[in-house]
Amino acid sequence: MPKLHCLLALLLLTAVLAGAQPAPGGNAMPFPLIETDADSGAEVYLLGADERSADNIYGEQPYGDATGRRIAIRYYPAGDKPGGISVLDLQDGTLHTVLEGKPPFPAFHAWGQYLYYNQKVDGQLMLRRCDYLTMQIEDVAPLPAEVGGFSYGTVSPDLRWYAVSVVPADGGPSKVYLMDLQTREFSLLLDKPGYHAKHEQFSRDGRNRVLIQLNQMPDVKQVLLGELEIGGEAKLFPADRPHTPRPTGHEAWIGTSDRIFYSTGADEGSQGNIWTCAVDDEHATLVPGEGKRFGHVSVSRCGRYWIGDTGEEGIPIYIGSFESGKCKRAVISRTVYDGKQWAHAHPYLTADNKWLIYASTRDGHAQVYGARLAEGWLEELD
């Protein structure tokens, strides 16, 4: 095993030292070019190459800034080198360390100015944030750790609210709490007995609704999807039986609308397994996907395109248009599942729709890759 790690490290170092590769139009890329997809023309680059295993964290609410220039990468400890989270600049290739140690799962806050995360500071659990462009780190609010075990949470687009799933200190399924980041008032937002609340995501439509996944315990008998209103009631989306097959647990808001996009299992003879709906819809709407079965899904910042990976050979990643119903394969991720989070592709588009970001173990070493889409390819879906 040590020899394999040394070989992988040498290959990574060689790739980095190979220098920038020329891109279309003569512009230099600060990352090693791995391949060009024969069908889409997307150029695949190795991003933030490191001897440590790495992933792109998640795709439903991408960890990147609003310009599309910078993304966050999570690194896992390797040997004497600690894990942590860094911000990668896609224009100049620079890598900026946010924190070192056990890498936390940052809070959902899609394409924002800040990367939010929980970290202990002098023994106090603290919600912190790092400005993607200036790299300035600041404390936002102390969190009452005595309540229980905090998940990652989500911060509203207006920076006012923090909603977080918390496992009670005395055990049992997670509840959802809300903190007003102006007054620091901490209150209970949802307690649904028998259901484990997770995957919290604030909407981006100005309503500040929290998308929540509710797993009926024990043994996940149901996977419900709900919308939580601050100071109001919880409403359920038409997901799981009798509306759709059971959701996979991968869901996202569609742009700045009140609709969500999610994947489910597939019944025998079904035409697909990706859906859209709003809480007031009587039925969910099936999204055309050429009959393929998708797993991890996300939506572009503009809300026009969906992204998803499949279980086909090589774990290809597709991008589709909500309006036209067309979809095409953008790239083959070549990841191989090894039971670790870093082996999941978790694909997403940067804010400017120029890069498709995903994780892959294609060379036996988990790293983050970026497929720079060919000029005009995305628009061909419309």
Quote the CA–CA distance of 174 and 224 in Å, as a whole number: 14
Residue 24: predicted pLDDT:
41
- Mean pLDDT (the chain) is 93
Quote the CA–CA distance of 216 and 196 in Å, as a whole number: 6
pLDDT tens by residue, 138-174: 999 999 999 999 999 999 999 999 999 999 999 999 9
pTM of the model: 0.93
Q: How confident is the model at residue 15 (pLDDT cuts 50, 70, 90)?
A: very low
pLDDT tens by residue, 312-328: 999 999 999 999 999 99
- The DSSP secondary-structure symbol of 63 reads S
Domains of the chain: 2-93+237-381 (2.120.10)
Residue 161: predicted pLDDT:
98
> With 60 as the cut, is the pLDDT of residue 10 above it?
no
> With 50 as the cut, is the pLDDT of residue 111 above it?
yes
> With 60 as the cut, is the pLDDT of residue 26 above it?
no
pLDDT tens by residue, 337-367: 999 999 999 999 999 999 999 999 999 999 9
- The DSSP secondary-structure symbol of 107 reads P
Residue 291: predicted pLDDT:
92
Question: Tokens 């191989």, residue?
Answer: 336
